[in-house]
Amino acid sequence: MKPYRSEVLKKSHNRRAFSCGDDALDRYFREQAGQDSQRTGSVVHVLVGAATEEVVGYYTLTNATIRLAEIPPEAAKKLSPYQTLGAVLIGRFAVDQRHQRKGTGTLLLHDAFMRCLEVAEISALSAIVVDPKNDAARGFYEHHDFSPIVEDKPGRMYILFNTIPNALREAVAQNRALREKVRFWQSTPHK
Ligand SMILES: CC(C)(COP(=O)(O)OP(=O)(O)OC[C@H]1O[C@@H](n2cnc3c(N)ncnc32)[C@H](O)[C@@H]1OP(=O)(O)O)[C@@H](O)C(=O)NCCC(=O)NCCS
């Protein structure tokens, strides 16, 4: 059995016990995240221990944009020539302290990448952006190949879709094939 499930936040998830060590991120998750999901300010995703039902990490996704001028010219020339490109913002991202430094953050980030790749199949997206809260978070994102944007949003970092690891692309493509099969089956008239 898989040790974790990735789900959109729902009422049954235990948010009280979550603690990542950052007060603002903990408070948001415990007190606001439910409402945020309902009001669609951002969609909150959680990683849940399959055996324990414990929330080991969460992140939020919101549609965003990135300007071509914010990407270094070398990388920008491989993208569409429009001045404003579609992006997804990982607004908040946190792993419970008991699960940090064990690879959970990487798992959570890869889960976010896969969700974003799924969105990119139906709506054009060029980049994922993050606003790291401090040097430790910046180090984590640098480790995962995010780069600082060029212009005037100090601290913001991005990764282009075309640099997301291939293994994740393949997993999403396999899921897509499965989804399409199901859709085909559902749309086939039954006699
Ligand atoms: C930042 C955070 C998400 C990292 O999660 P984690 O589970 O500890 O990270 P992982 O164990 O998956 O680390 C993955 C890799 O990133 C590296 N890494 C983790 N934190 C790092 C840091 N501060 N600087 C550089 N590299 C770092 C690890 O060394 C590891 O490398 P490896 O795969 O070569 O071993 C977690 O510490 C956290 O939730 N912190 C509090 C909230 C926060 O700062 N969130 C960021 C919001 S902006």
> Which one is predicted more confidently, 2 or 135?
135
pTM above 0.85, yes or no: yes
Residue 44 has pLDDT above 90, yes or no: yes
Strands 147-148 and 127-130: unpaired
Give the residue-averaged pLDDT of 134-142: 95
H or E element: which one contains 85?
strand 84-95
Residue 188 has pLDDT above 50, yes or no: yes
pLDDT computed for residue 127 by the predictor:
95
> Which one is predicted more confidently, 121 or 37?
121
pLDDT tens for 69-107 read 999 999 888 888 899 999 999 999 999 999 999 999 999
Tokens of 92: 């908040």
Tokens 């100090």: give the residue.
Answer: 154
Confirm or reject: Cβ of 106 under 6 Å from ligand 1: yes
Confirm or reject: Cβ of 19 under 6 Å from ligand 1: no
Give the residue-averaged pLDDT of 42-57: 95
CB 142 within 8 A of CB 105: no
Confirm or reject: Cβ of 21 under 6 Å from ligand 1: yes
Mutation choice for ligand 1 from 143, 144, 145, 157, CB with most ligand atoms inside 8 A: 143
Task: Work out which ligand 1 atom sits closest to the CA atom of 92.
Answer: 47
Mean residue pLDDT of the chain comes to 90
Which CATH superfamily groups domain 4-163? Answer: Gcn5-related N-acetyltransferase (GNAT) (3.40.630.30)
Task: Work out which ligand 1 atom sits closest to the CA atom of 94.
Answer: 39
As a dihedral over the C-alpha atoms of residue 90, residue 163, residue 177, residue 122, rounded to 10 degrees, the angle is: 50
Q: How far apart are CA 125 and CA 148, in angstroms?
A: 18
Give the residue-averaged pLDDT of 102-117: 94
Confirm or reject: Cβ of 103 under 6 Å from ligand 1: yes
CA angle 137, 140, 144 (to 5 degrees): 140
Confirm or reject: Cβ of 95 under 6 Å from ligand 1: yes
Domain boundaries defined on the chain: 4-163
Nearest CA to ligand 1 atom 35: 103
**Percent of the chain scored above 70 by pLDDT?**
94
